[in-house]
Structure 1
Amino acid sequence: MKKEMTKSEVRNVQLGLLDFLDKICRENDIEYSLAGGSLLGSERHQGFIPWDGDIDVMLRRDYYEKLMPILSELEGNYQLHYYKKNIDYQNYAKFYDDRTILKSFRDQMYDGRIGVHIDIFPQDYLPDDKLERTKFLKKIFKMSEALASTGFPAYISGTKWYYQFARFFLRLPLFIKHHGKNREVAEELDQLMQKYDSQKTKEVGFVSSKYFDKEHFPSEIFNDYEDIKFEDLKVRKIKQHKVYLKQLFGDYMKLPAKKDQVDHDFYHWFWREENDRV
């Protein structure tokens, strides 16, 4: 019987992944930065946000494309989940520890397929014009929905049972159209995400962000990096982190209300049994 992991065990595994990723990037002259809540946590808490268990990192597209083949060729416990290597229903990579396994009734995209992980997000150029940018992001969202609908039960994934119920019907036409075409749709989406990269516009961000049009930043903030403390590790961040965090979170050093200090994670993590490796 699989043993469920404690919160401390999960965090130790995440930190091991981050430490390994940091070493790989430094050895290969690849710059990366903590992202989202992880960057916020490093500034406000010097590590994890107490009620948030994720680790997110971001890379400029050129660094991202350099990193993916390196991680894809790894042997051992640390593995990359990425559309060029696996069936994947999202347009960013996950770096996970194969000694562990994720179980979730809500997340049918990754249930039983990966373990404790960190998310790796590519940063692409975005249109400078707000109307053009909004139109582009809506197109990305539409294609992201198509990618999520290329498999069943993946396409009904949702944080609440009623989301799953609704998606069963709302995404059904997309599933009928795109099922069995995961690699084809993922490739098309990945190319679309890079549409403006050759134009070197003034705005950059993860184009499929849950923050939608809040996630666009001056491109120059991804030019300079420095070390920062995250728990007991020394990792990397963009030097102009204040611009990034203010754009996403506003007054980011202010703690949210107690009622909002909630972990919305709906995953359960287990140690794999030796004969249960993928």
Structure 2
Amino acid sequence: MNEMKYTDDVLKKVQEVELSILDDFIKICEENNLKYFTVSGTGLGAIRHKGMIPWDDDIDVGMLRKDYEKFVEIANKEYADKYDIVTAGMYPDCTIFNAHWSKKGTAFRDRNALNVTYPTGIFLDIFPFDNIADDDKAMHKQGKRAWTWQKLMIMSLNPKPVLHFGKVKNALITAVSYIAHFGLKILGFTPEKCYQKAMKYLRMYDDVETKRIGFFCGTQPFTTIHARSDLDPLEEVEFNGRKMYMPNNMREVLTNLYGDYMQLPPVEKRYNHAPEIVKFKDED
């Protein structure tokens, strides 16, 4: 499968839009005392590049669930003329369990989102971190069940997902998806029911002050977990000329993930795949 690459000009414009969205996000957080922190490659970019990784095309931030919900409420009330909030539960065919805060008048559509009904503008990724079990066995049970129900939600909507693996793996996953899709229909598991099941496990410790927090509904369930103490205090960091915050153990996390994370990848790997459609607000 041929993947599109960005031109330098288009990537620069995408990054500029995302940074402008980030500025509004930070403004809301500062005005309402909401805690946020860098997630994934955004933390790496902050440390290694003092901003976005030059070839990256997204910004990822995390929030505790209560702050995340407060942000969504404020954004929908005060910024609805400028942005759309997109997440599972808001649109019947949306299966992402984080939020895309996307700029109205723009477009950013991957191949798997060409026919969706929800807004798909250039966006900021916002991840809600839930309380997760202190006991490792209970935590793995919680995470696997939440993750599985989210994947079943995807299969209940689409028997043939867009995949980017090798030919054999794509064929195997497609076969499993077809079986799951029609099996879920027969058993009466609608996308909404799958969503509710996933949320049940994600939020099963809402009323418990657990020692850990996590986001289970990514590509893998156990790669985005923090001790609560990692956020107390947060570490201030420079990000493209603005102030952001990251977990206080981010360097340790990056070392575990990448080893010498300050080492740049080979030149031939310094790129990102462009979406099928990119449109900016000043374009027809």
Identify the range of structure 1 (92-101 vs 81-90) with the bigger mean alpha-carbon deviation.
81-90
1:182-193 paired onto structure 2 within 5 Å: 182-193=191-202
Q: Report the TM-score when normalising by structure 2.
A: 0.81
The equivalent position to 2:104 in structure 1, one of 98, 101, 125, is 98
The equivalent position to 1:213 in structure 2, one of 222, 240, 247, is 222
Indicate conservation of the 8 Å contact 1:228/1:234, yes or no: yes
Is 1:170 the counterpart of 2:189 in the alignment? no
- Identify if the C-alpha distance between structure 1 residues 118 and 165 changes in structure 2 by more than 3 Å, giving closer, same or farther: farther
The equivalent position to 2:205 in structure 1, one of 196, 200, 217, is 196
Q: Which residue of 1 aligns with 2:91?
A: 86
Indicate conservation of the 8 Å contact 2:38/2:62, yes or no: yes
Q: Which residue of 2 aligns with 1:21?
A: 25
SS in 2 for 1:80: strand
Shift of residue 27, structure 1, vs aligned partner = 0.8
Using the aligned pairs only, state the percent identity.
23
Q: Report the TM-score when normalising by structure 1.
A: 0.83
Amino acid at match of 2:80: E
CA distance in 1, matches of 2:142, 2:69: 22
SS in 1 for 2:207: helix
CA distance in 2, matches of 1:264, 1:212: 23
CA RMSD of aligned residues (A): 3.0
Indicate conservation of the 8 Å contact 1:83/1:183, yes or no: no
CA distance in 1, matches of 2:115, 2:57: 19
CA distance in 1, matches of 2:116, 2:28: 25
| Unmatched runs of 5 consecutive residues or more in structure 1 | none
| Unmatched runs of 5 consecutive residues or more in structure 2 | 1-6
The equivalent position to 1:127 in structure 2, one of 124, 133, 137, is 133
- Identify if the C-alpha distance between structure 1 residues 243 and 201 changes in structure 2 by more than 3 Å, giving closer, same or farther: farther
Indicate conservation of the 8 Å contact 1:140/1:208, yes or no: yes
Indicate conservation of the 8 Å contact 1:107/1:157, yes or no: no
Q: Which residue of 2 aligns with 1:271?
A: 280
* Number of matched pairs: 271
SS in 2 for 1:213: coil
Identify the range of structure 1 (232-241 vs 37-46) with the bigger mean alpha-carbon deviation.
232-241
Indicate conservation of the 8 Å contact 1:80/1:94, yes or no: yes
CA distance in 2, matches of 1:112, 1:161: 29
Identify the range of structure 1 (254-263 vs 199-208) with the bigger mean alpha-carbon deviation.
254-263
